[in-house]
Amino acid sequence: MGISIWQLLIVLLIVIMLFGSKRLRNLGSDLGDAIGGFRKSIGDQSSSEDATSEPPQKK
C-alpha cells in the first residue's frame, strides 16, 4: 500500500496552486543555501577538531 505516482502528482499540483511556482523556487533556493551553510559549518568544526586533537610535532 504505497503512494502511487498519481497521488504524488495531485499533492504536487495542490502545493503549486497554494504557494505558486515563484515562491517554491525561492523556498528551494533558500533551503539549498541553508544546507550549504550547515555543511560548511560542520566542515569547519571537524577541521578545527582535527587540528586540536593532533599533538604538535617536535623537531
Q: Give the C-alpha separation, 13 to 21, whole Å.
A: 10
What structural domains and CATH numbers belong to the chain?
5-43 (1.20.5.3310)
Q: Give the C-alpha separation, 3 to 12, whole Å.
A: 13
pTM (predicted TM-score): 0.48
Which tens digits make up the pLDDT trace of 1-59?
688 999 999 998 998 888 888 888 888 899 999 999 999 998 887 766 665 555 556 65
Distance of CA 55 to the CA centre of its chain: 34
The residues, ordered by sequence, that sit 6+ positions from 16 with a Cβ below 8 Å of its Cβ are: 24
